[in-house]
A and B are shown apart, each in its own frame.
Chain A
Amino acid sequence: MEGIDVGLKAVGAGLAMIGALGPGIGIGLLVNGALNAMGRNPDAANTVQTNMILGIVFTEAVAIYCLVVALIILFVL
């Protein structure tokens, strides 16, 4: 694997992963809200936790989309 196209592929993959910034912040905000709720109302901790996991799964999916694009750039193109 030599040449400038390998270097450009690497740059492309690196740029694609910048998109993982958003879900990182999003998950942080989610857990922040969940922890606040659990602190105010410890009896509802289970419900809050279940919904938190659900929310985290959806936001993490966006980060996974970025990763998949980066992998496609590196290994398929």
Chain B
Amino acid sequence: MSVNQRGMMIFFFILAFAVILCGVVPFMLLPGAGIAMALPVIQVPGEVYAKGMPSPDFEFTNTLMGTLIADAIVILLALLARRASNGWTKEVPGRGQGLMEGFIGFVYGLVKQMAGTRAIVRNLLFPLVASIFFFLLIGNWLELIPGVDSVGIMHCGEPDKHNGYARSGSLLYNDAALFSGYAVATEEQYLMCEDYLLGYETESFGVASVAELEEEVATLSASEAEHAEEEDDHGGGHHGLSDLQKAEARLEAAYAVESLTVALEAEDLTEEEQAALETELLLAQTQIQYPHAIVPLNQDQIESGVQPYGFIVTPYVRAAATDLNLTLALALISFFAIQYFGISALGAGYFQKFINIGALGNLSKRPLGAVDFLVGLFEIISEFSKVISLAFRLFGNIFAGQLLLFIMAFLVATMLPVIFYGLEFIVGFIQALVFAVLTLVFSAQAMEDHSHHDDEHGHEH
């Protein structure tokens, strides 16, 4: 088979695979999922999904999970490299060792080029730069793995905060493309959603007429009045709506259905008014079966098990650098490392870079040295701007990339996101490299000796 024929065959296999995965699987094998994807929740800070361990205030976010996974992968790679080289004693490197040596050699070449080969560079600067580079590389590439940022825990959207979707079984249900969800508006809707989530209620309450509902409300309020003295907290904290409140909500919905049916029979309705009233009617009819429902559903959907409250999915894992805490922490580590390298190479004379006492002392010989003193003060500001720019450059690139992947997958589920995957692959590598190289460059600049420059100036003049 010639090269072109083989390429053609591989291309058709890829095409068939993509069509099956994006066409057959969502629409035929997972029927409850609706015809459009629901967008996972977008929130700038990391989302918390577990609390309480090891201390009551500790919140375990999904970016922390991403950090731990990236840590584990980097350590695993290091251990594998050690095993592949038999504890770094092998005479002729095999393939695994050769691969690792290629990567490490690349980083070491950069370090040698920028900072030389002194002992402190070999023992402290190179490990720091290489650690930052590999950790960020793996952490940034983690967001490309399927499952990261998409598989997650389903819970109720908090009032006034998140856009929720209906759910059917364990999948979010969304039957309108490009729809970003219903807002969870009130406390009661949130409590009802929690009931269904935690399993206190499992089915719809069923269709009922106004008369039946009025009867139910009457019986329940009577029994409430009887049990008013004995009523206690049901031993342990289920603070949902009571049966009476649910029945009252259903009754109000039944009244709304009546009045809306009457309103729809009016003669001079425009198209828009008619459509709006019909949606309200559908919502009220849904609210009879599911008190305080948010999503209007028709009878077929209710019978197939769709629950009309505001559910959202929070991913289990999110790429580490999408959390500003991590990028700021790494930037602060770099900042302190740069100062440490400067002090260890130049001693106390390192602070001459900031408070240029030499220029003040030389004022009689070189009066323009006062400018050098002011420049030194500006250096202090630029040190802090380095921290901010390192943190925000990494955060902005990776967070924006993750957001782009979300939204691309939501818009066009089939072939377009592949292009953005390629972009994210490159951007992840470049941002990891840039962070590490900037730390390296600033450290090398800090270790340079400034007094030689002044002597050179003196000789030239």
Residues of A within 8 A of B (CB): 1-2, 50, 53-54, 57-58, 60-61, 64-65, 67-68, 71-72, 75-76
Interface residues on B, range: 20 to 34
B contacts with A: majority SS: helix
- B434 near A1 with CB under 8 A, answer no
Contacts of A61 in B (CB 8 A): 389, 392-393
A68 touches B396 (CB 8 A): yes
State whether A57 touches B43 (Cβ < 8 A): no
Instruction: Give chain B interface residues in 388-406, CB to chain A under 8 Å.
Output: 389, 392-393, 395-397, 399-400, 403
CB contacts (< 8 Å) of B395 on chain A: these are: 68
Interface, chain B (partner A; CB < 8 A)? 42-44, 113, 163, 180, 183, 389, 392-393, 395-397, 399-400, 403, 434, 437-438, 441
Ordered by A's residue number, 28 sampled pairs between the chains whose C-beta atoms are within 8 Å are A1-B163, A1-B183, A2-B183, A50-B113, A53-B434, A54-B437, A54-B438, A54-B441, A57-B434, A57-B438, A60-B393, A61-B392, A61-B393, A64-B393, A64-B396, A65-B392, A65-B396, A67-B396, A67-B400, A68-B392, A71-B44, A71-B399, A71-B400, A72-B44, A75-B42, A75-B43, A75-B44, A76-B44
* 6 new A-B contacts at CB < 8 Å, known A67-B400, A71-B396, A75-B42: A1-B180, A50-B113, A57-B434, A57-B438, A64-B396, A64-B397
Residues of B within 8 A of A71 (CB): 44, 396, 399-400, 403
CB-CB under 8 A from B389, the residues of chain A are: 58, 61
Chain B residues within an 8 Å CB radius of A58: 389
B387 CB, nearest partner CB in chain A, Å: 12
Majority SS at the chain A contact face? helix
CB-nearest residue of chain B to A58: B389
Q: Which residues of A contact B180 (CB under 8 A)?
A: 1
A72: chain B residues within 8 A (beta carbon): 44
CA distance A71 to B407 in the complex (A): 14
- CB B429 to nearest CB in A, in angstroms, measures 13
Nearest B residue to A57 via CB reads: B434
CA distance A45 to B389 in the complex (A): 27
Residues in A neighbouring B396, C-beta threshold 8 A:
64-65, 67-68, 71
> In whole Å, how far is B393's beta carbon from the nearest beta carbon of chain A?
5
- Please, how many angstroms separate the alpha-carbon atoms of A53 and B389 in the complex? 16
Which residue of chain B has its CB nearest to the CB of A65? B392
Neighbouring A residues of B437 by C-beta, 8 Å: 53-54
